[in-house]
Chains A and B, each alone.
Chain A
Amino acid sequence: MESLDLEQMSVRDINQYLHNTLPETNVTELEIVNPTGEHNIAVGINTECSLDVRGHAGYYLGGMNKKANITVHGNAGNGVAENMMSGSVHVKGFASAAAGASGHGGTLVIDGDTGLRCGISMKGIDIVVGGSIGNFSGFMAQAGRMVICGDAGEGLADSLYEAVFYVKGTIKSLGADAQLESMTDADHKAVQELLDFAGFEHDPKEFKRVASAKQLYNWNADADQEY
């Protein structure tokens, strides 16, 4: 396994290695040691590989990731896997605010809790959270799925489009135009699939489905315009 040490190399050096050199090698397994909360670790990878980050990461870890499977053996700061395209990011600890923001694809797994605005404006990413998620998560979520094994905070999935949320615990409040819907067989299957991927053991039957009531899709001129 190739080992990159953030006490010996800068984040820029490591990222340039991952972008420019890695695709020309046969290396498929790497680790980054001593991350000490640095920002922008392993952003913009565009190569299939398995990368272990051994410690806590700062902001934007694995941002814009394509193809790589990244595991953080610690916590992650704001915007982990933001705008991910494919591959996966697995955070073994907790993640701060805006985890998986605007992600287009791939799967983000967080074993612990996440902060506020998880999956804001998600566009196709799947997010599985082992713990609870903070307020205003899934705001304007356009596509993708989020499985929350703990509780959801205030304003879950406000103004969402086609994304779907599955919550096992309590929901403090739903955002505008988000509604509870009954689970279908397809939903149970989807939740099971995502739980299996994350390695979490829960009964999909215990999850609730939240999706868009689609009342905000079109302008309603007859509604009381009380803002």
Chain B
Amino acid sequence: MCGIVGLLVKNELLRPQIGQLMLPMLIGMTERGPDSAGLAIFGSSAKDNQRKISLYTLDPGFLWKKLSDDFLHHLGSDVHLQQVANHAVMTTELDINLVTIWLKEHYPTVHVLSIGQLMEVYKDIGTPAQVAERYGFENMSGSHLIGHTRMATESAVTPAGAHPFTAGEDWGLVHNGSFSNPNSIRRMLAHKGINCVTENDTEAACRFLEWRMREGDDLETALHAGFEELDGFFTLLMGTKDQLALVRDPFACKPAVVAEHDDYVAIASEYRSLAHLPDVKNATIYEPKPEELYIWKV
């Protein structure tokens, strides 16, 4: 199981409401994924010389203020921290490698969920409604997003095992399905210095695709390499700085429905998550074909 949703708002006037438009979509996928939920949203952009780092900790009493004080003290740079429940989005001008190494050394219980100029990631265990409430999904604004509701089948129900997964910058992925060779993918990537932080199969696929693109592949070429290397069944929905992309495995084992409207493009595992979108009656509704790459630009 698992449910996926994606929304790209074409009408700029509706972008402040993207969270509100998405919420019934995510909750509509509760039966497909009741144990965890998550969201990668492409919202307000950091400055060109800045990056946003989405962080989370399992420690409910974690002192984020102390982290930002230590950051200034050790690294000599102010840092902006926007905290929501046990997540925080850090905005910094410092080199990303320096910051992540510093975090690992001084705050090993704080985990990096994503890095990017636009992307922020929120994910946790709980029903989609609970997770959405905890992190205020309804009030989020942005141009596009990908979301996921999880019914774990191959690795533990933990916040880290929830989707989306990210790699590199402004690149996130949600997955419905399962891969049967994540161990060999992980081993292959480890030889190239790319290490996974969870046991999750989707993370391995996410890092594989990001590695291919870092090596110079465009998304389409990377996905074709994925068809060769990744064994399993999947509907993958991916978000980048300025696009959403969707692909289904050659057997189309896992569902997907798309609604294209003048104001938005919405994607979900099932139509019931699209049924409550405004004016969906006038949207063009179709099922993506297997092994074809669908890309929608912001």
Contacts and interface: CB of A to CB of B under 8 A. Distances in A.
Interface of A: 36-39, 55-56, 58-59, 75, 77-78, 93-94, 96-97, 115-116, 134-136
A77 B270 contact: yes
B181 to A, nearest CB: 22
A39 B28 CA distance: 12
A75 B252 contact: no
Contact of A38 (B251, B272, B274): B272
B287 A37 contact: no
B171 interface: no
Grouping DSSP codes into helix (H, G, I), strand (E, B) and loop, the A interface class, with mixed when no group exceeds half, is loop
B251 A116 contact: yes
Interface in B243-273: 251-252, 255, 270-273
A75 B290 contact: no
B275 interface: yes
B285 interface: yes
A59 B270 CA distance: 9
B220 to A, nearest CB: 21
A96 B275 contact: no
B287 A115 contact: yes
A116 B251 CA distance: 8
B80 interface: no
B252 A115 contact: yes
Given A94-B287, A134-B252, A58 B270 contact: yes
Given A56-B285, A94-B286, A94-B287, A37 B252 contact: no
A87 B252 CA distance: 30
B272 A116 contact: no
A115 B275 CA distance: 20
A77 B252 contact: no
B271 A56 contact: yes
12 contacts: A36-B275, A37-B270, A37-B271, A37-B274, A55-B275, A56-B275, A77-B270, A94-B287, A97-B252, A97-B255, A116-B290, A136-B251
A55 B285 CA distance: 12
- Most chain A beta carbons < 10 A, residue from B255, B271, B275, B285: B271
Contacts of A37: 270-275
Nearest to B274: A37
B47 interface: no
Contact of B255 (A75, A78, A136): A78
A136 B253 CA distance: 12
Contacts of A77: 255, 270-271
B252 A36 contact: no
B258 to A, nearest CB: 12
Interface string B121-148: 0000000000000000000000000000
A65 B59 CA distance: 54
Given A56-B285, A75-B285, A94-B286, A116 B271 contact: no
- Most chain A beta carbons < 10 A, residue from B251, B252, B255, B287: B287
Nearest to A136: B251
A136 B273 CA distance: 27
Contact of A36 (B272, B289, B290): B272
A134 B290 CA distance: 9
B276 interface: yes
B290 to A, nearest CB: 7
B252 A58 contact: no
A115 B256 CA distance: 11
B251 A75 contact: no
A20 B274 CA distance: 32
Interface string B271-298: 1111110000000011101100000000
A134 to B, nearest CB: 7
Given A58-B270, A134-B252, 15 more contacts: A37-B271, A37-B275, A39-B272, A56-B285, A58-B271, A75-B271, A77-B271, A96-B255, A96-B287, A97-B255, A134-B289, A134-B290, A135-B252, A135-B290, A136-B251
Contacts of A97: 252, 255
Nearest to B271: A37
A222 B273 CA distance: 54
B252 A116 contact: yes
Contacts of B286: 94
A30 B272 CA distance: 22
Contacts of B273: 37
B138 to A, nearest CB: 20
Contacts of A116: 251-252, 290
- In the A-B complex, list the 8 residue pairs whose CB atoms are closest, starting with the nearest: A37-B272, A37-B271, A36-B275, A37-B275, A56-B271, A116-B252, A58-B272, A115-B287
Nearest to A39: B272
Contacts of B272: 36-39, 58
